[in-house]
Amino acid sequence: MRRRRWKRVLIGAFAGCAVLVDAGAAAAQAAASTEQVAIATPPAGSAAWVQDHSLGRALPDPATTSAGTVAAFFASLKPAELDRLLTEYPLVVGNFDGAPLDVRYRANRLAVAAERERARARAADHSLDSAERALAASRANDCDHLLQAGRQILAFDPRGRGLVSEVFGDLARAQRVSVLVPGSDADLGHHDQASEPLRSPAGMARALLAEEQRQAPGTVSAVVAWTGYVTPSGLGPDAVTSRLADVAAPRLERLLGGLKETTAPTAPPALFCHSYGSVVCGIAAPDIPPATGADGEPAGITDVVVFGSPGMGVESAAELGGGVQVWATRNPTDWIGNVPYLEFGGLGHGADPTGGGFGAEEISSAGAAGHNGYLATGTHSLRNFASIALGHYRAVSHTLPAQS
């Protein structure tokens, strides 16, 4: 009983601290939000897919099949077989890491369109209360935006608050690939915000890609805005534990496995991990091996950039394994710096990645303001992020020691 009481006290301390530094009634309401239900199972349609033997052979199980086996399976399909599977099981095909990129884009357009029609029907159903109809209308509107011409939806799952991952740039031809792992409140409804774009995964991804193209117009780059996991809602209890990140990390690893099969960049994809997303990256990092080339020779390690981080679940970068190089930054006006950097009884996320003893390469974020301003135009952080994504490490500016 005493241990449970201490846990409640610590949760309140963490959330309360965040509320105090972020201020306002909205933050207080977020701190009181209920826990989220993590999504660990394959998407709808997976059970029927596994039971489908119409091709005269077993279809790969979405829950257990490796990306390499998935890639081989799709390569073996005849066009008519592929079209039938894509049409009958768009959610399965669209979320299958290892499936061809163009096939996933096609499948997800079907899945998003189906969800839009389902939401429109609910919005027009007067047997539902007004709040439910309003939520359905909002969902339909979000899906409608994803169906605009030119959008490349790599993954879509309408369960819960909705998961969506989008590609910016030409991923199939990209020489440099980046994956943006967002933090709290990222979901279908907040994937792409017009009023404050840098608060959304899509907006951050667009900004990173634009800066890469500015710095290296001759390099083909792509950025994946990956909301492939259920994120914490607001500043509530989920934000101070690793529960959601524990489920998210294997999903991130599967994404990377799929990219290895379907892309051919000149270096491993770089991970850009914002806020709670850095907890996800910290859990996944030890399972990311150093890359090897076709000749079996070392081909580089994965750059992991954490910004606005509450911690990575460890006390030092050395605990993250030899497959990653950690870069870290936090601007002085980011409220996350006032949250306790510790881990006790499953609460908190460990040491500050920008601390001198952590072992990360600390980079400048001069010009950035607040928790969401790291990819704003003209900031050192945006410039540095693009330089790291491009492998231009000598161009990266570092944080200067404080002047006495």
Whether residue 21 lies inside any domain: the answer is yes
Helix (H) or strand (E) holding 292: strand 291-292
Domain stops at, among 152, 172, 197? 152
Domain stops at, among 152, 173, 199? 152
Bridge partners (DSSP) of residue 60 are none
Low-confidence ranges of the chain (pLDDT < 70): 1-34, 292-299, 400-404
For residues 225 and 284, membership in a common domain is answered with: yes
Q: Could you tell me the CA-to-CA distances from 129 to 118, 134, 139, 208, 297 in Å, in that order?
A: 16, 9, 16, 41, 61
pLDDT tens-place string over residues 80-121: 999 999 999 999 999 999 999 999 999 999 999 999 999 999
CATH of the domain at 356: 3.40.50.1820
For residues 203 and 311, membership in a common domain is answered with: yes
Is residue 145 left, alpha or beta, with left meaning phi > 0 and alpha meaning psi from -120 to 50?
A: alpha
Whether residue 145 lies inside any domain: the answer is yes
For residues 50 and 25, membership in a common domain is answered with: no
What is the span of the domain harbouring residue 140? 43-152
For residues 279 and 368, membership in a common domain is answered with: yes
* Residue 341: strand, helix, or coil: coil
User: How many domains are contained in the chain?
Assistant: 2
For residues 137 and 218, membership in a common domain is answered with: no
Whole-prediction pTM value? 0.90
Whether residue 402 lies inside any domain: the answer is no
For residues 88 and 165, membership in a common domain is answered with: no
For residues 135 and 255, membership in a common domain is answered with: no
Domain stops at, among 131, 152, 173? 152
The token pair at 32 is 């009181």
Query: What's the rounded Cα separation, in Å, for the pair 1 and 5?
Result: 6
Question: How confident is the model at residue 11, as a pLDDT?
Answer: 41
Question: How confident is the model at residue 35, as a pLDDT?
Answer: 85
